[in-house]
A and B are shown apart, each in its own frame.
Chain A
Amino acid sequence: MTESRKPPERGAGPLDDRSLVRAAQGGDAQAFRALVERHQRRVYQLALGMVRDSDEAMDITQETFVRVHRYLPSFKGDSSFFTWTYRIATNLCLDSARKRGRSERVELDESDAEIEARMDPPSAALAGPHRAALNAELKGKIEEALATLSENHRAILLLREVDGLSYEELARTLGIRKGTVMSRLFHARLKMQRKLREYLGDDTKDEAEDEE
């Protein structure tokens, strides 16, 4: 098993990312191969979530590692290797989306009305005995809901929920400030929630109101 979900360099050992990067910088092809095999699944997951097309995600994954190889001599280790790699992958995903004209949506500040709407509590049924059934229904709607998000919102949501990047790592990967990470992630989750609640209809809300 050469792939893992958690960043491998966080553990000690002779084959951690840092050692492999140094070896690869010196021209060791096997070390570079190990880096690719270690991170390819996570990069592919991100790309697939972003572009939602398996062939395009595969191309982006390959191009990500080609660029990693190209820029590896300039990698100083200021950030972790996987954060650096994710930054390249994220930029490629965003570029791809822009070329296809999918990022025309501009993220605007929320109006007061939206903020007020945010205060509407979701149905209590979501946390109750219906949750298991709801989760199953949610899974079926996730891709649809993700597709409605802007590229920036989708990127931060995937990097956080799927890859578990910390806010510091998100900031580095996306090239934004930590405060922006919190704000962007909040709005991404909120939009996702609203979309899922739309898909799920008002049943749960009605049930909750009946219970109250």
Chain B
Amino acid sequence: MKRRCEESVPLIGPWMDGELPEEDRAWLAEHVAGCDGCTTRKALLAAQRDAVREAVVRKAAAADLSRMADAVLARVVHDRPPAAVLRLRVWGAETWRAHRGSISAAAGLAVAASLAVVALLSPLRSGPRPGPLLADASAGTTVEEIDFESHEGAVLQSGQTTVIWVDDDGRAVVR
């Protein structure tokens, strides 16, 4: 009996509150029905609950709360932002709560893209840029013949300037 009382004592309250799991209800009811001590504990808990409720409710019932709402509204009337702002705030909070993951991901991507653009266009970026493939015709060289071999090519001349153009697959041989 002692062992069963130790088990049942903490559960009598939850049982009376309707919060005891299904699997414990049957054995606890059986134990309490056959145990004078636990029957009394249960009765005392019920009496205590009723007494607490009655005492507090009775005392509170005497209070005049008829002007409570007016007093509260008088205090909050100046705090109230416009309805549109309120709705926007609620909408924003709810949107954030519902789509927090997506919003975070999109913001992260936007930041990454911005950083990439800045890096590509930065004036601090230095180094040689690849230019067109040109045959190296130094000053003073006289071009007599160009063998383009299997490549496409052309010679453009204007005054003292000669430009030899060849496609990207190879170099022209200047003789």
Contact = CB atoms under 8 A, between A and B. Distances in A.
Interface stretch (A7-15, A31-39, A82-90, A93-101): A31-39
A81 interface: no
A44 B69 contact: no
A93 to B, nearest CB: 13
Nearest to B51: A138
Given A73-B90, A119-B2, A160 B17 contact: yes
B2 to A, nearest CB: 7
A201 interface: no
Contacts of B13: 182, 185-186, 189
A131 B45 CA distance: 12
Interface residues of B, number: 53
**By DSSP majority rule, is chain A's interface helix, strand, loop, or mixed?**
helix
Nearest to A196: B48
A161 B71 contact: no
Contacts of B71: 62
B57 A29 contact: no
A138 B45 CA distance: 12
Closest 8 CB pairs of A and B: A121-B37, A27-B83, A127-B43, A142-B55, A138-B51, A45-B60, A36-B69, A65-B72
Interface of A: 25-27, 29, 32-33, 36-37, 40-41, 44-45, 48-49, 54, 57-58, 61-62, 65-66, 69-70, 73-74, 76, 118-119, 121-124, 126-127, 131, 134-135, 138-139, 142-143, 146, 157-158, 160-162, 166-167, 182, 185-186, 189, 192-193, 196
